[in-house]
Structure 1
Amino acid sequence: MDLKIIIEQELWEAIEKNYEHESYSSAILDAMHLLTDTIRNKTGLEGDGSGLIGQAFGGENPKLQLNKLQTESEKNIQKGTQELLRGLYTAIRNPRSHDKYNDTKEEADSIICFIGYILKIIDKSKVNFEESTFLKRVFEKYYVKTEEYSELLVNEIPKRQRTNLAITVILKRKEGDFENLYYFLKALFDQLEDNNISQVFKVISEELKYTSSEEDIRTILNTVPAKYWSKLDKAVKLRVENILLENVKSGKYDLLNENCLNGALGTWIETEHLMNFEDVSNWNLEVVNKIKYGDEEDKAYIEEFFWNKICEINSHEIDYWLEDYIKSELKNKDSEIVRKLEAILKFNGNHSWWKIFEEELKDFPEMYYDDDLPF
Structure 2
Amino acid sequence: MGKFENFVRNAGHLTDEPTVEKEGGGSHPFDERNIHPEIARVAQKLFDNGHYSQATFETFKYIDNKVKRLSKLKENGFKLMMTAFNEANPKIKLTALSNESEIDEQSGYRFIFAGAMSAIRNPRGHENLVDPIDLCLDHLSVASVLLRRLEKTAP
TM-score by length of 2: 0.76
Partner residue of 1:48 out of 56, 76, 82: 76
Alignment of 1:261-280 (within 5 A): none
Partner residue of 2:138 out of 110, 114, 122: 110
Task: Give the letter for the 1:61 counterpart.
Answer: N
Report whether the alignment pairs 1:16 with 2:44: yes
Task: Give the letter for the 2:105 counterpart.
Answer: I
Q: Structure 1, unaligned stretches of length 5 or more?
A: 128-375
Instruction: Tell me what 1:342 maps to.
Output: none
Partner residue of 2:106 out of 68, 75, 78: 78
Instruction: Tell me what 1:34 maps to.
Output: 62
Post-superposition offset of 1:94:
1.1
Post-superposition offset of 1:4:
2.9
Structure of higher CA gyration radius? 1
Mapped to 1, the partners of 2:66 and 2:29 lie a distance apart of 20
Alignment of 1:113-262 (within 5 A): 113-126=141-154
Instruction: Tell me what 1:97 maps to.
Output: 125
Q: What do the CA deviations read for 1:187-227 (whole angstroms, capped 9, x no partner)?
A: xxxxxxxxxxxxxxxxxxxxxxxxxxxxxxxxxxxxxxxxx
- CA RMSD of superposed structures (Å): 1.4
SS, match of residue 41 in structure 2: helix
Instruction: Tell me what 2:29 maps to.
Output: 3
Mapped to 1, the partners of 2:141 and 2:56 lie a distance apart of 10
Post-superposition offset of 1:75:
0.8
Q: What do the CA deviations read for 1:25-65 (whole angstroms, capped 9, x no partner)?
A: 00000110110121112122221011111221015221111
Mapped to 2, the partners of 1:120 and 1:22 lie a distance apart of 25
Task: Give the letter for the 2:153 counterpart.
Answer: S
SS, match of residue 126 in structure 1: coil
- Which structure is higher in RCO with an 8 Å CA cutoff and minimum separation 6? 2
**Residues 87 and 97 in structure 2, CA contact (< 8 A), matched pair in contact too:** no
Instruction: Tell me what 2:89 maps to.
Output: 61
Change (3 A) 1:76 1:59: closer
Task: Give the letter for the 1:16 counterpart.
Answer: Q
Aligned residues with identical type, % of pairs: 25
Task: Give the letter for the 1:78 counterpart.
Answer: Q
Q: Which stretches of structure 1, 4 residues or more, deviate above 6 A after TM superposition?
A: none
